[in-house]
Amino acid sequence: MSNKMWGGRFARGPGAIMEEINASIGFDFRLALQDIAGSKAHAAMLAETLILERADAQAISNGLDEIAREIEAGSFKFSRALEDIHMNIEARLTELIGPTAGRLHTARSRNDQVALDFRLWIRDTIDALDQQLRALQRALAEKALKHAASVMPGFTHLQPAQPVTFGHHLLAYVEMFARDRARFASARSRLNESPLGAAALAGTSFPIDRAMTAKALGFDRPTANSLDSVADRDFVLETLSVAAICAIHLSRLAEEIVLWATPQFGFASLSDAFSTGSSIMPQKRNPDAAELIRAKAGRIIGALNALLIVMKGLPLAYSKDLQEDKEGTFDALHALSLCLAAMTGMVGDLAPDLKRMKAAAGFGYATATDLADWLVRTLNLPFREAHHISGRLVAIAAEQKKGLEKLSLAEMRAVEPRISEAVFAVLGVENSVGSRTSFGGTAPKCVRAQARLWLRRLKK
């Protein structure tokens, strides 16, 4: 038997393999509540424009409410034979209210219906992710305020570069996640147009009111071109692109936590809540939550790449290829949500070893730049000359296997006779970070100001 929802032309139903490759209900069931919301708005508009009797529209609305209750209660029966969420809901609506259910699809196609549902789902998901990002920013800013003066090494090339504070380091990620939130908001603003009413690809001859359904569903306006309305998946690509960038930020922080938790670094530790052990090595304490975040960035980036490849050769308007837009997106955005929750927990749980970090901040002659700056400020040397002098002093200290601050004044004056006892004040790591008072710098007073500013912003 042909599919009773669309099979008028067909004498027989699809073969088993065709049904297997064609069915999407295994993943697009996630669009159920968005599909119902769109259908209710469509039915109300059909009644308002006198395309549908008000009694029929009310019966449809009541039936859809009942289906929503069944879905939320877990009692709704999804059928693979009905292919997708749209046909499953329409079939159940027919069971509930009879042939009147068939009027719901007037002036509508599954093409604009799925485009609508997916926009609604993406919009809802962006809103939820934004709240998770906000919570992560708050956790970072709170810890940054607490550790505004806790000294740690700053790295370039993963080599000791200059001392910074732990709070300053954490605030760098607050800035990254702020950009992610801004990108999500920007993507949301562009997707907030309603494709409903574009029908299959050419619009409809019925006197529908697209502005009415757009407003009812919280969109800014209806889309302006019916072909683009059903063929566009830019809103998915943009969202996945932002998700991929956000996942990279999470992965970078996760990688640092993995490094910090090693005995070689020893900068911080995680409690049992975010660590696992080994089945054979009883001493092991593994930061698996961080490692999994690092890995899940790959599947999020992969979902973006997969959809880019799907879209690259599609002519207008709708092709079944577009069914491949959902499964990877659902998986990627769920993974991102899970990663955000895990990272927020880890940030709160992370216990820094302040003594170890401070000691490491002085490794590798990290105050050599402070020495060069002192030579410029105090002796009025050109920076390149000061840089050369500092480098020579580093070489002498390295040859003797001791820190810059351990060199004697005589040894320093052998390189530059005008160096005075005052130079030793800039060679301590705390003096170094305290001197970095330029806007955005690592000085504790700057870090406190920025952390408090962020906490005020995040309260709003």
Task: Supply the residues annotated as catalytic.
Answer: 157, 278
- Half-sphere exposure for 213 (CA within 13 Å, toward CB): 31
The residue written with tokens 């973006």 in the block is 304
Q: Which residues contact 68 (CB under 8 A, 6 or more apart)?
A: 32, 33, 36
Torsion of CA 215, 219, 221, 223, to 10 degrees: -130
Alpha-carbon torsion (276, 297, 330, 306), positive or negative: negative
Which of 195, 77, 122, 158 is closest to 363 using CA atoms? 158
Give the span between the Cα atoms of 163 and 441, in whole angstroms. Answer: 11
Q: Which residues contact 390 (CB under 8 A, 6 or more apart)?
A: 368, 369, 371, 372, 375
Spatial separation of the C-alpha atoms in residues 121 and 38, rounded to whole Å: 11
Angle formed by the axes of helices 444-459 and 110-146, to 10°?
Answer: 140
Beta-ladder partners of 162: 154
Q: How far is it, in rounded angstroms, from Cα 268 to Cα 211?
A: 55
Cβ contact 112:230 at 8 Å: yes
| Calpha distance 443→436 (Å, rounded) | 5
Triad 86, 88, 89: Cα angle to 5°: 70
Contacts of 325 (CB under 8 A, 6+ apart): 118, 233, 236, 307, 310
Which two three-digit tokens encode residue 48?
Answer: 């308002």
Q: In the 3-class helix/strand/coil scheme, how is 89-142 assigned residue by residue?
A: HHHHHHHHHHHHHHHHHCCCCHHHHHHHHHHHHHHHHHHHHHHHHHHHHHHHHH
Rounded CA gap, 319 and 231, in Å? 8
Q: Which long-range contacts (CB under 8 A, 24 or more apart) does 48-55 make?
A: 48/209, 48/212, 49/206, 49/207, 49/208, 49/209, 49/212, 51/106, 51/107, 51/206, 51/207, 51/208, 52/103, 52/106
Q: How far is CA 151 from CA 83, 163, 263, in A?
A: 59, 7, 19
Count of CB atoms situated within 10 Å of the CB of 233 = 21
The total number of residues written for the chain in this structure: 460
